[in-house]
Amino acid sequence: MRAAESLRRARVRACLVALIGLGLALPALTIWLDAVRHSLGPDPWAEASRRSGSWALVFLVASLAVTPLRQTLRLAALAPMRRVIGLTGFAYAVLHVAIHLGSIGGDVRRFLAELISQRNLLFGALAIALLIPLAATSFDRAIRALGGVAWRRLHLLVFPAAAFAIVHFAVSWPQKVDVTEPAVAAGLFAWLVGYRLIAPRGGAPGLATYAGLALAAAGVTAGLEFAWFALRTRVDPWLVLAANLDPELGPRPAAWVLAAGVAALMLRLARPSARSARRGPLARQLPIA
């Protein structure tokens, strides 16, 4: 009976690992498929670089969201996902840089010269330089060799790495007057940093803190958007700020970030009690060690 149960669990686990692996590899597969079908548009290198860079950032930010999500839902089984998603983000960043290198015919000298002369690329290079030691120490042996405290301290570098990646994203952004995507990325990052600073050790904060964090992250988003328009365009930044209060103009970046913060608050409201989280079925979900 026990053997049958552990076989069933092993199968469920293998299926979950395969599904998650497929999900994480899917963006790369679609880039590759579009490349072989010549459907990446008029500038295939730039499109492949753009798409791989976007996914690198998505996975990097998603890896930072795992701990808040785990603590908010009291879902300990999510913990191993942080490493998996973080390493996936790094793999996409490497792919992104490789595609960029490919686009210039593999000319390493030109590549290095560009990193120094083009400010947007310099921020990308700083991001990947910080990610390399993190990826290199994301294995059990490295964790044991470094010890838990040093490892955790080293891995705090993921925050400046993500900040550099977001600056790189913003300054590489081709449009000047619609900066929704970089502004939302920066606002979500502000929420994640705020959470880490405020959350009590090992647990989730109270409901009022989630509400405050949602408002503060939305405020930071609106402020960054204001600064962008003030510094980089001739558009009146006060009009952009006022647009946040006009529902007819559709959801602005600050509204998207507020919605994400409210969603986190809802999850906190709906989470199981500490006792049922320890005993209940949620604790057995995603059994990926």
Give residues in contact with ligand HEM (CB under 6 A). 46, 49-50, 53-54, 56-57, 60, 93, 96-97, 100, 121, 124-125, 127-128, 165, 168-169, 172-173
One-letter amino acid at 176 equals K
Nearer to ligand HEM, 174 or 281 (CB): 174
Nearer to ligand HEM, 125 or 282 (CB): 125
In whole angstroms, what is the distance from residue 103 CA to residue 56 CA?
Answer: 18
Nearer to ligand HEM, 131 or 265 (CB): 131
Write the DSSP assignment of 7-46 as a string of letters: HHHHHHHHHHHHHHHHHHHHHHHHHHHHHHTT-S-SSHHH
Sign of the Cα pseudo-torsion (239, 240, 241, 246, in order): positive
At 190, list the tokens: 């502000």
One-letter amino acid at 242 equals A
Residues in contact with 283: Cβ distance below 8 Å, sequence separation at least 6, in sequence order: 75, 76, 77, 277
CB 222 within 8 A of CB 241: yes
One-letter amino acid at 67 equals T
Nearest alpha carbon to residue 92 among 120, 131, 39: 131
CB of 78 to ligand HEM, least distance (A): 22
CB of 17 to ligand HEM, least distance (A): 24
CB of 187 to ligand HEM, least distance (A): 15
CB of 58 to ligand HEM, least distance (A): 8
CB of 232 to ligand HEM, least distance (A): 16
What are the helix and strand counts (H, E) for the chain? 13, 0
Nearer to ligand HEM, 125 or 258 (CB): 125
Nearer to ligand HEM, 114 or 241 (CB): 114
Nearer to ligand HEM, 53 or 68 (CB): 53
CB of 203 to ligand HEM, least distance (A): 29
